[in-house]
Structure 1
Amino acid sequence: MLPLFRRIPVGSPMQLLLLACSFALAAYAGVRLLADDWLGVALWFVGAALLHDLVLVPLYAVADRALVRGLGAVRRRDLVPYVRVPTALSGLLLLVWFPLISGRVEVRYRSATGLSADVFLARWLLITAVLFGGAALLLLLRLWLRRETKHRPPAVH
């Protein structure tokens, strides 16, 4: 029985404390969330899971396959993350902030906050441009460093 406990990885006391605190916070949030309308929250959660698994995952797969083929990345698979990562982050931001980006809830947003929702589309486009620009700069830096190491003479020991 003792060798079984030796195989179980146990973190430091600080890691265990942080893990316990995160579980306590998640439990508190779950109780608060489910207190008012537990059926509505459960339906929303199941609906979101079904939408993700049955609609969005196939769309992700088709888009990723098109990206790999479009970049000719069957041979150059190392280029794919420089498009995949900013696309995923931009898509996630669009998914989360879609009602405000599309302007569908502008009246409710203005009445609740007193602020205009006109800035969300421009900010999302700016963040998307920064994400793709940063990925392009990282790719250029990587290609430049690779070229520099190819042209460098071998070190003499």
Structure 2
Amino acid sequence: MAGVGWFTKLYGAGPAHLLAVVGCFALTTYSVVLIWGEPQVVRMAVWFAAAVVVHDLVLLPVCSLADRALAASLRSAPKARVPIVNHIRSPVLAAGLLFLVFFPGIVQQGTATHLAATGQDQQVYLGRWLALSGTFVAVSAVVYVLRSVIALRRSRSHNPSSVDEST
């Protein structure tokens, strides 16, 4: 797309990026218009602002420090054929996001309201979150083992002298 080079140079990204940003702003505007007349709009705005502050000032620095500590501890470990860091990050991120989304149900906050609204209690949230988190870890471990086996087989097929010939 040589014809949009001037646009990319001026804007800093391609036209698809601008279209996506405009679409996000349109969706946000539509959402605000929908909830503007609600009596709880101020409460929702306070919750949104608090979420932004907590994310930027608490969660992001804590996650960044934990990730740096993980990367530093893995740097001192023997070099593996397949890096393990993303196989640790992925299930932890998935479990953490699920915990944030379902936190009120997991800690059984608002039990009476939840029961009145759905007719069900919140007893299952903690167990299901733990089961999903365990599944994320197990799937990530299986993928890591499979990738390691494939990498080992590839290295042996490309370098036959590394195969043990003592048998």
- Alignment TM-score, normalising by the size of structure 1: 0.77
C-alpha distance in 1, partners of 2:21/2:56?
29
- Tell me if the contact between 1:67 and 1:80 (Cα under 8 Å) persists in the aligned partners: yes
SS in 1 for 2:75: coil
Give the deviation of 1:50 after TM superposition.
1.1
Structure 1: gaps (5+ residues): none
RMSD of equivalent CA atoms: 2.9
- Tell me if the contact between 1:34 and 1:41 (Cα under 8 Å) persists in the aligned partners: no
- Tell me if the contact between 1:73 and 1:80 (Cα under 8 Å) persists in the aligned partners: no
Q: What letter matches 1:59 in structure 2?
A: V
2:59 to 56, 69, 83: 56
Give the deviation of 1:25 after TM superposition.
4.2
Give the match for residue 96 of structure 1.
101
Aligned sequence identity (%): 29
Give the match for residue 131 of structure 1.
136
SS in 1 for 2:109: coil
C-alpha distance in 2, partners of 1:30/1:85?
33
SS in 2 for 1:35: coil
C-alpha distance in 1, partners of 2:94/2:158?
40
Structure 1 residues 81, 74: CA separation in 2 closer, same or farther (over 3 Å shift)? farther
Q: How does 1:65-80 map to 2 (within 5 A)?
A: 65-70=68-73, 72-73=74-75, 76=79, 78-80=83-85
C-alpha distance in 1, partners of 2:65/2:24?
36
1:84 to 59, 67, 89: 89
Give the match for residue 110 of structure 1.
115
C-alpha distance in 1, partners of 2:53/2:76?
31
Q: What letter matches 1:133 in structure 2?
A: A
Give the deviation of 1:53 after TM superposition.
1.1
- Alignment TM-score, normalising by the size of structure 2: 0.73
Q: How many residues align?
A: 147
Deviations 1:104-137 (A, max 9, x none): 2222211111012111111111110111111101
C-alpha distance in 1, partners of 2:54/2:25?
27
